[in-house]
């Protein structure tokens, strides 16, 4: 009976409305579940129809509206380029001709023949040490050697004429030779009283003063002599570069303090790996004709260790990384009338130089990599490309 009453009530309401749509308030106030459900079904159908119409309108607006709100990006069109990678290092200037000169015999420093800053030649006398009477011993030994020679010469002439005994001849010969060895030994000893330049260079420091008592050994150095012509830079190179940094490699050398740049080569690459820091020594020769480069001066080195004639290069700042640790970039796909789709591409990278990085896999020449706006777009999202920069404008070094 209740169901029949509800049906009659619905019919009455519809009839009273003359087929007009019943208001939401009237349906709710009826407190009739079937009437409310019927109204909901009616509204659901209307909603679905409206959503479909809105979708059609949005599609048409997207097609016609040139001012639609899509991400604005810039892109770089990559191409095959020459990529020269260099290893940047720091080293100190050295010279193998930078020595402290020590006396070879004890005694008082009686004369100093040079001044600081003076150029000297190899073997030039720098100072004299009191010989303690050794000079007189040499003169006496030379006199004795002269007499021994005269005796030997006479005895030899006699022996050549078969006059005299052989033993007399041999005794005079032995005596003469013994005296000559004594003279030579004394002269060698006397020669040590003169301190000489070990090589041509400049007297950088006169350490001891005239009158000082000196002796061979530590603490008795008299001069420092330096040759600034044969200079080199020594640096430590990581062991991972042992096959690429070899003798003959070209090196760009910068002396920041001097504001000077020179080009040189690796003159020696070490064969020993230091276990403490896993590096090996490298020497780079330095031309120093004007002698402006000094020992222990700091230098910056740039050594080419890798070259790719057809590299794909992109700025490091456009690369992102996903949860799996993979690197990716966005490229513009289906570009038409400045509008395209952002496509995510997984890449494999190689060496870096300056602000660019080499891409080993994932990109090819002609791909348009999103640069400006790369952090704001999503995969398969529509984008508007404001500018496409040609690869030649990229910076490949510092």
Predicted confidence band at 93 (pLDDT cuts at 50, 70, 90)? very high
Quote the CA–CA distance of 368 and 374 in Å, as a whole number: 12
Q: Are 195 and 126 in contact (CB under 8 A)?
A: yes
Residue 240 lies in a domain: yes
Quote the CA–CA distance of 325 and 319 in Å, as a whole number: 12
Say whether both 185 and 259 belong to one domain: no
- Average pLDDT, stretch 196-220? 90
Predicted confidence band at 126 (pLDDT cuts at 50, 70, 90)? very high
Say whether both 329 and 362 belong to one domain: yes
CA-wise closest residue to 290 among 218, 229, 204, 234: 229
For CA atoms 254, 259, 264, 267, give the dihedral sign: negative
Residue 294 lies in a domain: yes
CATH code for the domain of 344? 2.40.420.20
Long-range contacts of 265-270 (CB under 8 A, 24+ apart): 266/303, 267/232, 269/237, 269/242, 269/245
Total structural domains in the chain?
A: 4
Say whether both 287 and 314 belong to one domain: no
CA 64 to chain CA centroid, Å, is: 55
Say whether both 287 and 312 belong to one domain: no
CATH code for the domain of 303? 2.40.30.170
Among 307, 329, 352, give the residue marking a domain's end: 307
Tell me the average pLDDT of the chain: 86
According to the model, what pLDDT value does residue 21 have?
A: 58
Name the 3-class secondary structure at 194. Answer: strand
Q: Are 351 and 88 in contact (CB under 8 A)?
A: no
Q: What's the token pair of residue 84? A: 């020269």
pLDDT digits over 290-302, tens only?
888 988 999 999 9
Say whether both 371 and 295 belong to one domain: no
pLDDT digits over 345-376, tens only?
999 999 888 889 999 999 999 999 999 988 88
According to the model, what pLDDT value does residue 19 have?
A: 42
Say whether both 301 and 321 belong to one domain: no
Q: Are 327 and 320 in contact (CB under 8 A)?
A: yes
Q: Which residues of 134-155 are buried (b: 16+ CB within 10 A; e: fewer)?
A: beebbeebbebbeebbebbeeb
- Average pLDDT, stretch 191-211? 90
- Average pLDDT, stretch 325-344? 91
Quote the CA–CA distance of 389 and 369 in Å, as a whole number: 10
- Average pLDDT, stretch 75-103? 90
Q: Write down the H helix ranges in 65-202.
A: 134-160, 166-191
CA-wise closest residue to 360 among 80, 137, 151, 4: 80
According to the model, what pLDDT value does residue 62 have?
A: 67
Q: Is 56 exposed, middle or buried (CB count within 10 Å of its CB: 0-12, 13-18, 19+)?
A: exposed
Say whether both 374 and 352 belong to one domain: yes
Residue 222 is given by DSSP the state -
Say whether both 351 and 320 belong to one domain: yes
Between 23 and 14, the more confident residue is 23
According to the model, what pLDDT value does residue 301 have?
A: 95
Residue 333 lies in a domain: yes
Is it the case that residue 254 has pLDDT exceeding 70?
A: yes
Conformation bin of residue 212: beta by default, left when phi > 0, alpha when psi is -120 to 50: beta
- Average pLDDT, stretch 62-76? 76
Q: What's the token pair of residue 1? A: 């009976």
Residue 218 lies in a domain: no
Residue 33 lies in a domain: yes
Q: Which of 8-12, 257-261, 369-373 shows the lowest mean pLDDT across its residues?
A: 8-12
CA-wise closest residue to 269 among 229, 298, 307, 232: 232
Predicted confidence band at 66 (pLDDT cuts at 50, 70, 90)? low
pLDDT digits over 144-179, tens only?
989 989 988 888 888 888 887 888 889 989 998 999
Is it the case that residue 392 has pLDDT exceeding 70?
A: no
Name the 3-class secondary structure at 66. Answer: coil
Strand pairing of 356-361 and 223-226?
Answer: unpaired
Is it the case that residue 22 has pLDDT exceeding 70?
A: no
Which domain, by its residues, includes 14? 2-63
Is it the case that residue 321 has pLDDT exceeding 50?
A: yes
Among 272, 292, 307, give the residue marking a domain's end: 307
Paired with 360 in beta bridges are: none
What stretch of H or E contains 174?
helix 166-191
Predicted confidence band at 181 (pLDDT cuts at 50, 70, 90)? very high
Say whether both 92 and 237 belong to one domain: yes
Say whether both 294 and 347 belong to one domain: no
Q: Are 331 and 347 in contact (CB under 8 A)?
A: no
According to the model, what pLDDT value does residue 305 have?
A: 85
Quote the CA–CA distance of 104 and 214 in Å, as a whole number: 9
Is it the case that residue 389 has pLDDT exceeding 90?
A: no
According to the model, what pLDDT value does residue 274 have?
A: 92
Say whether both 364 and 323 belong to one domain: yes
Q: Are 210 and 110 in contact (CB under 8 A)?
A: yes
Predicted confidence band at 63 (pLDDT cuts at 50, 70, 90)? low
Residue 201 lies in a domain: no
CATH code for the domain of 156? 1.10.287
Among 273, 290, 307, give the residue marking a domain's end: 307
- Edge-to-edge strands, sheet with 119-120: 98-101, 223-226, 201-206, 119-120
- Average pLDDT, stretch 35-45? 86
CA 122 to chain CA centroid, Å, is: 39
Residue 15 lies in a domain: yes
- Edge-to-edge strands, sheet with 213-214: 194-196, 125-129, 107-112, 213-214
Name the 3-class secondary structure at 4. Answer: helix
Quote the CA–CA distance of 306 and 87 in Å, as a whole number: 9
According to the model, what pLDDT value does residue 327 have?
A: 95
CA-wise closest residue to 234 among 95, 88, 98, 100: 95
- Average pLDDT, stretch 19-34? 75
According to the model, what pLDDT value does residue 277 have?
A: 93
Say whether both 314 and 299 belong to one domain: no
Residue 104 lies in a domain: no
Q: Which of 220-224, 373-377, 387-391 shows the lowest mean pLDDT across its residues?
A: 387-391
């Amino acid at each position: 009976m209740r169901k029949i009453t509800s049906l009659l009530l619905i019919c009455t309401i519809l009839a009273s409305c003359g087929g007009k749509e019943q208001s939401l308030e009237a349906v709710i106030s009826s407190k009739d579940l079937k009437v409310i459900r019927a109204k909901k079904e009616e509204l659901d159908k209307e909603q679905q129809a409206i959503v479909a119409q809105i979708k059609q309108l949005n599609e048409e607006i997207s097609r016609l509206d040139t001012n639609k709100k899509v991400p604005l990006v810039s892109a770089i069109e990559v191409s095959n380029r020459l990529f020269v990678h260099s290893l940047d290092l720091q080293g100190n200037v050295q010279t193998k001709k930078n020595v402290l000169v020590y006396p070879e015999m004890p005694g008082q420093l009686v004369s100093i023949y040079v001044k600081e800053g003076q150029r000297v030649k190899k073997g030039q006398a720098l100072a004299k040490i009191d010989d303690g009477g050794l000079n007189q011993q040499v003169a006496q030994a030379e006199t004795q050697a002269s007499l021994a020679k005269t005796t030997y010469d006479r005895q030899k002439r006699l022996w050549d004429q078969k006059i005299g005994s052989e033993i007399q001849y041999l005794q005079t010969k032995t005596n003469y030779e013994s005296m000559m060895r004594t003279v030579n030994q004394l002269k060698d000893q006397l020669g040590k009283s003169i301190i000489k330049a070990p090589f041509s260079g400049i007297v950088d420091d006169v350490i001891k003063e005239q009158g000082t008592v000196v002796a061979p050994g530590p603490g008795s150095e008299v001069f420092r002599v330096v040759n600034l012509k044969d200079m080199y830079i020594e640096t430590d190179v990581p062991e991972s570069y042992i096959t690429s940094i070899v003798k003959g490699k070209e090196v760009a050398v910068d002396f920041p303090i001097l504001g000077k740049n020179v080009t040189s080569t690796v003159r020696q690459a070490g064969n020993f790996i230091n276990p403490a820091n896993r590096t090996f020594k490298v020497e780079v020769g330095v031309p120093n004709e004007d002698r402006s480069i000094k020992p222990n001066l700091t230098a910056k080195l740039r050594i080419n260790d890798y070259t790719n004639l057809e590299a794909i290069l992109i700025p490091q700042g456009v690369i992102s990384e996903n949860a799996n640790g993979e690197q990716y970039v966005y490229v513009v796909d289906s570009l038409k009338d400045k509008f395209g789709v952002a496509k995510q591409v997984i890449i494999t990278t190689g060496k870096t130089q300056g602000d660019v990085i080499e891409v080993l896999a994932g990109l090819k020449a002609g791909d348009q990599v999103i640069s400006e706006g790369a952090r704001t777009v999503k995969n398969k999202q529509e984008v508007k490309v404001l500018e496409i920069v040609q690869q030649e404008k990229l910076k490949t070094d510092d």
